[in-house]
Amino acid sequence: MGTAYSELMKEIQTGKFVLTGELEPVKTTDLTEVIEEAKSLKGQVVACNVTDNPASYAYLSSLAASYVVQSQTGMEVIYQLRCSDRNRIALTSDLLGAAALGIKNVLALTGDHTILGDMPDAKPVFDLDSALLTGMIHRMVTEGKDLRGNPIQGAKPQFNIGVAANPNADPLEPEIMKVMRKVENGADFIQTQVCFDKDKTLNFLEMAKVFKIPVLIGIFPMKSYAMAQGFNQLVPGVKIPPELITKLKAIKDGSWSKEEKRQQYDAVNLDFFVPFAKELKKSGLCAGYHIMSVHYTEITPRISALIR
């Protein structure tokens, strides 16, 4: 492993089984809810991703949210950065800003096409993809230079670079080759897309051993049937198992009180994800979990305690 600049990488390098969370600033100028969610996750996860226009919806800046969360709560962030909205000049500018603001983790993403979001007439950029962005960040960190070789004044940026992977890809081999490009370009860790299928996930982890970098498996507790439906409609490349959808729909259609429905949603998520996570942890092939309990942070301590 390379140099650990962030607490996340330091914990991984000491052999700890780590958990990361996820925060999603939306189309707002008010970060109160995101800050409160970050506070509630302190002590439960070592770091939180801050999403960057997920599904190409135009939301509050990930860079601004990352800085506010880290400075006001002490929660370490993983700053997500997409290529779909920015050329290499803008990407470089944002990364220099992140370095100046004390951010230590960056998740390099290609990003979804703009046609999928809430401004479908926006022009997509894609000057770089996630592998080239990874290489650009790595050069900034190791050489103190931008992508073209121009020197950066002051101290070199100190980032640990995360990349994404999709264990659900079919066939899986092209996905492994994509991840290999990112690893060769300097990735320090992998966070995966949401996983539901144990066998597919274990197969990916077996193949990913060749990368020799830590892998955090993505799990997605859902606080409602509506959230599950939205995921299936908006997130390409992975679907929620039909039996899980059926259980969530039965809760929605039931005549229970709001509190009783909340308890049942909790129970369904724990019943599915805890055995799944324990089985993967037992394999010794993953370094931790990325728990994407967006706007459902109250479930994270319970999952964390049962997994550990």
Q: Residue 166: its pLDDT value, please?
A: 96
Average pLDDT of 201-222?
Answer: 96
Mean pLDDT throughout 290-307?
A: 90
The mean of the pLDDT values for the chain is: 95
CA distances for 127 relative to 55, 80, 108, 247, angstroms: 18, 17, 14, 43
Domain residue ranges in the chain: 7-307
Whole-number pLDDT of residue 235? 76
Q: Name the pLDDT band for 273 (thresholds 50, 70, 90).
A: very high
pLDDT range class, residue 214, cuts 50, 70, 90 = very high
Q: For 12-36, what is each residue's pLDDT tens digit? A: 999 999 999 999 999 999 999 999 9
CB 207 within 8 A of CB 176: yes
Are the C-beta atoms of 64 and 101 separated by less than 8 Å? no
Q: How high is the pLDDT of residue 91?
A: 98
Residue 88: Cβ-neighbour burial (10 angstroms; 0-12, 13-18, 19+) = middle
Alpha helix ranges (H) inside 153-241: 173-184, 198-208, 225-234
Sign of torsion over alpha carbons 68, 292, 52, 49: positive
Q: In the chain, what is the straight-line distance between the N-terminal and C-terminal CA atoms, in Å?
A: 24
- Assess whether pLDDT exceeds 80 at residue 122: yes
Average pLDDT of the segment spanning 266-288:
95
- Which of 10-24, 137-151, 166-180, 224-238 is the least confident region? 224-238
DSSP letter for 185, please.
Answer: T
pLDDT over 70 percentage in the chain: 100
Query: Pick from 216, 236, 218: which is nearest to 288 by CA?
Result: 216
Residue 74 in contact with residue 66, Cβ under 8 Å? no
Confidence of residue 150 (pLDDT cuts 50, 70, 90): very high
pTM score, whole prediction? 0.95
* Domain at 7-307, CATH class: alpha beta
| pLDDT reported for residue 145 | 98
pLDDT recorded at residue 2: 84
Q: Which pLDDT score is estimated for 229?
A: 87
- Is residue 90 scored above 90 in pLDDT? yes
pLDDT digits (tens, 9 = 90+) for 244-257: 999 999 999 998 89
pLDDT band at 233 (very low <50, low <70, confident <90, very high): confident
Instruction: Quote the CA–CA distance of 219 and 8 in Å, as a whole number.
Output: 18
- Kindly state the average pLDDT of the residues 109-134: 96
pLDDT at residue 209 above 90?
yes
Instruction: Name 230's Cβ contacts closer than 8 Å, sequence gap at least 6.
Output: none
At residue 44, the pLDDT reads 93
Pairing assessment for the beta strands 105-109 and 77-82 based on DSSP bridges: parallel
* pLDDT, average across residues 47-59: 97
CA-to-CA distance for 38 and 54, rounded, in angstroms? 18
Confidence of residue 60 (pLDDT cuts 50, 70, 90): very high
* From 105-109, 210-214, 222-226, 285-289, the region with the lowest mean pLDDT: 222-226
Most confident of 177-191, 240-254, 282-296: 177-191
Contact 85, 125 (CB under 8 A): yes
